[in-house]
């Protein structure tokens, strides 16, 4: 969808640029957003919200929307899930504007980036196990506890002192003292896989992503990614973290739980529910494509609810 074609009339165009000036939409002709699912199961309502949210932001800005399969965690991968997610997205009217990037095919680039970080003194080998770090609350104290051994080490990023802060388009200001709250973190795992934090930064930059819209469970990963971008001299994207869909017990929906997977054969009910979840007004169009088009026209990001901080904090413990 080109920037020129997306307004019905002059009034709508003015309204859009008025919103841009007020900061509702980023002012850019080159907006590039993305959806980056891990193929750990079928698309569920929570990931549909992230897909739709990122798609709406991108389309409302006249920008592009890319899909990337984040399949570095081979243990959690479910065979066929990547294909299934892409087919489900297509049934919902959302397809990548460029070839889908697959992280497992990009290890050489990640390894090259790790080498650079190591050479520049930002990353170091670490033999510490989870058990070793238990008495530090799981936070690496910047001095390794375990001595080098014959086991393959992980690589950690030196976070140094200081607070990393950014302004999230939905959640507002977010600050994190990395040394205190996270510690030196793993960017290359002992099992030989590149860690999420490094791969995501490399790929967002490689794909020229200007705006990252994703679930609020990743809000507290963002400062780690900002630090990596700074150390690698990469541009910093804008961020919007969407509220998380929770199950009846208040837990984040999981792709492992088939009960919450969305029905590709009948996309409208889930699309309507996802729009409502994002605070957007109800629509009664009877075709997904039509519904999406109208949703883009009426999209108002200020209606998206801000996540409660405990939801984001829940991820603090995971790598
Ligand atoms: N692959 C991650 C997930 O499925 C999302 C990563 C991101 O959007 O940065 O939870």
Report the DSSP pairing between strands 238-242 and 211-215. parallel
Determine the pLDDT at residue 67. Answer: 98
Edge-to-edge strand list for the sheet holding 101-102: 32-35, 64-69, 101-102
Q: Which atom of ligand 1 is nearest to the CA of 217?
A: 10
**DSSP element (H, E) containing 11:** helix 10-21
240 close to ligand 1 (CB < 6 Angstrom): no
Q: Which atom of ligand 1 is nearest to the CA of 40?
A: 4
Domains of the chain, with CATH numbers?
3-316 (3.40.50.620)
Instruction: Indicate the top mutation candidate among 35, 41, 52, 70 to test ligand 1's pocket, ranked by most ligand atoms within 8 A of CB.
Output: 70
Determine the pLDDT at residue 26. Answer: 44
214 close to ligand 1 (CB < 6 Angstrom): yes
pLDDT band at residue 254 using 50, 70 and 90 as cut-offs: low
Cα separation, 91 vs 69, in Å, equals: 18
Determine the pLDDT at residue 27. Answer: 44
Q: Which atom of ligand 1 is nearest to the CA of 35?
A: 8
37 close to ligand 1 (CB < 6 Angstrom): yes
pTM of the model: 0.87
Q: What average pLDDT does range 72-96 have in this prediction?
A: 96
Q: If 0-12 CB within 10 Å is exposed, 13-18 middle and 19+ buried, where does residue 137 land?
A: exposed
Determine the pLDDT at residue 249. Answer: 74
Does 316 score more than 60 pLDDT?
A: no
pLDDT band at residue 130 using 50, 70 and 90 as cut-offs: very high
49 close to ligand 1 (CB < 6 Angstrom): no
Q: How far is the CA of 58 from the centre of ligand 1 (A)?
A: 17
204 close to ligand 1 (CB < 6 Angstrom): no
Residue nearest to atom 7 of ligand 1 (CA): 36
| Other beta carbons within 10 Å of 135 | 9
Q: Give yes or no: 287 in active site.
A: no
Determine contact, residues 62/20, Cβ cutoff 8 Å. Answer: no
Catalytic residue, candidates 16, 32, 156, 255: 255
pLDDT in tens, 221-247: 999 999 999 999 999 999 999 999 887
- CA distances from residue 186 to 127, 190, 198 in whole angstroms, order as listed: 11, 9, 9
Determine the pLDDT at residue 246. Answer: 83
Which residue, among 64, 73, 51, 67, has the nearest Cα to 102 in the 3D structure?
A: 67
Q: How far is the CA of 63 from the centre of ligand 1 (A)?
A: 20
Q: Which atom of ligand 1 is nearest to the CA of 214?
A: 8
Residue nearest to atom 6 of ligand 1 (CA): 36
- CA distances from residue 57 to 25, 39, 279 in whole angstroms, order as listed: 8, 23, 14
Q: How far is the CA of 38 from the centre of ligand 1 (A)?
A: 6
pLDDT in tens, 150-187: 999 999 999 999 999 999 999 999 999 999 999 999 99
Cα separation, 92 vs 262, in Å, equals: 10
Q: What average pLDDT does range 198-221 have in this prediction?
A: 97
Cα separation, 54 vs 215, in Å, equals: 10
pLDDT band at residue 5 using 50, 70 and 90 as cut-offs: very low
39 close to ligand 1 (CB < 6 Angstrom): no
Q: How far is the CA of 69 from the centre of ligand 1 (A)?
A: 9
Cα separation, 153 vs 114, in Å, equals: 13
218 close to ligand 1 (CB < 6 Angstrom): yes
Cα separation, 164 vs 175, in Å, equals: 6
Q: Which residue has the higher pLDDT, 136 or 314?
A: 136
Cα separation, 285 vs 120, in Å, equals: 55
Residues 6+ apart with CB under 8 A from 108: none
Q: Which residue has the higher pLDDT, 133 or 1?
A: 133
Residues 6+ apart with CB under 8 A from 110: 188, 194, 198, 199, 202
Q: How far is the CA of 47 from the centre of ligand 1 (A)?
A: 9
- DSSP secondary structure, 250-293, as one string: SPBP-TT-GGGB--TTSHHHHHHHHHHHTTPPP---SSHHHHHH
User: What's the chain's average pLDDT?
Assistant: 88
Q: How far is the CA of 15 from the centre of ligand 1 (A)?
A: 32
pLDDT band at residue 310 using 50, 70 and 90 as cut-offs: very low
213 close to ligand 1 (CB < 6 Angstrom): no
DSSP 8-state secondary structure symbol assigned to residue 162: S
Q: What average pLDDT does range 261-274 have in this prediction?
A: 94
- DSSP secondary structure, 67-107, as one string: EEE----TTT--TTHHHHHHHHHHHTT---SSPPEEGGG-H
pLDDT band at residue 283 using 50, 70 and 90 as cut-offs: confident
Secondary structure class of 157 (helix, strand, coil): strand
């Amino acid at each position: 969808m080109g920037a020129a074609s997306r307004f019905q009339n002059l009034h709508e165009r003015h309204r859009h640029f008025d919103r841009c000036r007020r900061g509702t939409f980023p002012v850019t002709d080159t907006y590039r957003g993305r959806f980056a699912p891990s193929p750990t199961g079928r698309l569920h309502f929570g990931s549909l919200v992230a897909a739709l949210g990122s798609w709406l932001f991108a389309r409302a800005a006249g920008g592009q929307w890319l899909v990337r399969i984040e399949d570095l965690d081979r243990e959690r991968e479910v065979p066929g899930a990547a294909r299934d997610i892409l087919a489900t997205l297509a049934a919902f009217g959302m397809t990548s504007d460029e070839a889908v990037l697959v992280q497992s095919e990009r290890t050489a680039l990640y390894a090259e980036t790790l080498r650079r970080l190591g050479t520049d003194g930002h990353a170091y080998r670490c033999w510490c196990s989870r058990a070793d770090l238990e008495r530090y609350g799981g936070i690496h104290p910047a001095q390794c506890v375990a001595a080098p051994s014959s086991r393959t080490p992980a690589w950690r990023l030196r976070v140094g002192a200081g607070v990393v802060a950014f302004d999230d388009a939905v959640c507002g200001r977010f600050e994190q003292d990395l040394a205190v709250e996270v510690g030196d973190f793993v960017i290359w795992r002992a099992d030989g896989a590149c860690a999420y934090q490094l791969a995501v930064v490399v790929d967002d930059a490689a794909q020229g992503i200007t705006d990252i819209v994703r679930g609020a469970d990743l809000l507290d990963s963002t400062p780690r990614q900002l630090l990596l971008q700074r150390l690698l001299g990469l541009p910093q994207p804008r961020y919007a973290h969407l509220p998380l869909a929770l199950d009846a017990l208040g837990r984040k929906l999981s792709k492992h739980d088939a009960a919450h997977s969305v029905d590709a054969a009948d996309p409208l009910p889930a699309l309507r529910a996802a729009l409502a979840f994002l605070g957007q007004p109800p629509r009664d169009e009877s075709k997904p494509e039509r519904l999406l088009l109208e949703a883009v026209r009426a999209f108002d990001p200020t209606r998206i609810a801000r996540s409660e901080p405990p939801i984001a904090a829940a991820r603090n413990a995971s790598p």
